[in-house]
Amino acid sequence: MDLELAAARWNDDGFVVLPALLGEEDLGAARGDVASMFPTADDFHDDLEPERNAPLRSEFGGIVGFPFAGVELGLLAVHPILVELAQTFLRTDDVRLSSAEAWAKYTGAATYDQAHHRDHLSHTVLVPSDDPAFAHLELFVYLVDVPVELGPPAFVSRAAAGHRPVLPNWYPRRAGAPDPDAPSWRSTDAHPELYEAEVRAAGPAGTVIAYSTSTLHRATELTAPRGARFTLHCTFRPATAPWAARRSWVEVANDEEWHAFVARATPRQLELVDVPPPGHPFWTADTLDGLARRYPDLDVGPWLVASRAAD
């Protein structure tokens, strides 16, 4: 896959579909984690565990945030291929992971069909920028095959969308009422042209969909009988754009799952979640001692070696 060409497509169109960018060997262990996190399609549709299924019967009930109970799925979010993609698209080696979520959807569990919208309201305190130096790169990673019948996201190219101000943000197919809590967010006019121009990003397992927080897109309905869709949603940003951060990792830094991820991740992968790399001025004898005490299962050797080399 020519990532430079893909980056140009992403920059021009606002999205690009990369079929089977990740191979079976990349997905295998992470799929095992998904199987332990969510019911299978048959288990859900047979309602074998009603209490487990209950939260999944809402539009966003199938979302589980990073860090995950399974370390392998967390490591997939910082897979070298995805990191290289983010560096290429954002035109910098200094990138950060600003969010990661696993998402399960089941046919008939909820109404997933959405109006076209952009994601900037939930990803930044400011507004979206199309300059790669300040952009937010969102990725859908398909953990299973996602044909049209399993509700792939739909996207509208920048050319087809035309210039639209940051608000309203939601554009319904038919004229509708504004959001009573945020009346300026939703257009009251119909926008059928967006739905006529949309591209449904179906693809096999391992497909990666890259898009921007300024790209119009929407979720589509699952129609396959007894169907299920499992995806990983990752977002990267340039390190120099801290205002484009959906999550603060401090919120989860004392969780058991976070500690398990830290113990398995490389220094480069930890840098993606805001841990300074070996050799950074933050690291002193005291802070390195503190790092080893807070994360006793982490190999702090790379940080110690770099610190000694600097002395």
- Of 144, 134, 118, the residue nearest 31 (C-alpha): 144
Burial environment of residue 216 by CB neighbours within 10 A (0 to 12, 13 to 18, 19 or more): buried
Could you tell me whether strands 228-238 and 217-218 are parallel, antiparallel, or unpaired per DSSP bridges? unpaired
pLDDT digits (tens, 9 = 90+) for 168-184: 999 999 998 888 888 88
- pLDDT, residue 311, reads 65
pLDDT in tens, 145-164: 999 999 999 999 999 999 99
In angstroms, the CA 83 to CA 95 distance is 8
Distances in Å between the alpha carbon of 239 and those of 26, 59, 155? 26, 32, 27
pLDDT by residue (tens digit) across 106-136?
999 999 999 999 999 988 888 988 788 888 9
Torsion of CA 11, 15, 16, 21, to 10 degrees: 110
Strands of the 217-218 sheet, one edge to the other: 199-200, 154-155, 217-218
Is residue 43 within 8 Å of residue 3, measured between CB atoms?
no
Q: Where are the alpha helices (DSSP H) in the chain?
A: 3-13, 24-37, 41-45, 50-53, 71-77, 80-90, 158-161, 192-197, 256-264, 267-271, 285-294, 301-310
**Whole-number pLDDT of residue 242:** 86
**Inter-axis angle of helices 285-294 and 301-310, to 10 degrees?**
180
Q: Give the CA-trace dihedral at 50, 53, 55, 56, to 10 degrees.
A: -150
Lowest mean pLDDT among 195-204, 217-226, 300-309: 300-309
Q: What is the pTM of this model?
A: 0.94
Residue 292 has pLDDT above 90, yes or no: yes
Angstrom CA distances, 8 to 17, 172, 210, stand at 12, 29, 12
In this prediction, what percent of the chain has a pLDDT beyond 90? 86
